[in-house]
Amino acid sequence: MSASPDWRILCALAEVPPGLSHVAWLDDLPVLVVNLDGTIYALEDRCSHEDYELSSGAVDAAAGTIECVLHGAKFDLRSGEALCAPAYEPVRSFPAKVEQDLVWVQVPTA
């Protein structure tokens, strides 16, 4: 049987003002939530290269990227795609939406 998607509340929209980011928890998984001009993106808060928190890095709003402070790997906030070495694997991204001033993310369920 295949997994079906499930939407879960991650945080309040007020915790992620435009141009800023916030780390919220999805069970025991840290999730980086970024508000780029009113569009919400959610990524696992771990660099795929060295398992370091992406939330310590700089967000480039114009490019829609975040850079890991440890070794300079960059990731696309929209997809989690690794954009340069030393990271070659993407980080997990979650579809996100805003409803009733809450940020929701879609997670697979068994």
pLDDT band at 15 (very low <50, low <70, confident <90, very high): very high
pLDDT band at 4 (very low <50, low <70, confident <90, very high): low
Residue 87 domain-assigned?
yes
Cβ atoms 94, 106 nearer than 8 A: yes
Residue 88 domain-assigned?
yes
In this predicted model, which residue has the larger pLDDT, 2 or 82?
Answer: 82
pTM comes to 0.91
**What was the pLDDT predicted at 90?**
98
Residue 107 domain-assigned?
no
CB atoms near residue 50 (< 10 Å): 12
Would the pLDDT of 3 be above 80?
Answer: no
Domain that holds residue 58: 16-94
pLDDT band at 1 (very low <50, low <70, confident <90, very high): very low
Residue 99 domain-assigned?
no
User: CATH number, domain at 59?
Assistant: 2.102.10.10
Structural domains in the chain (count): 1
What Å distances lie between residue 56 and 2, 21, 44, 66, CA to CA? 35, 10, 13, 9
Residue 102 domain-assigned?
no
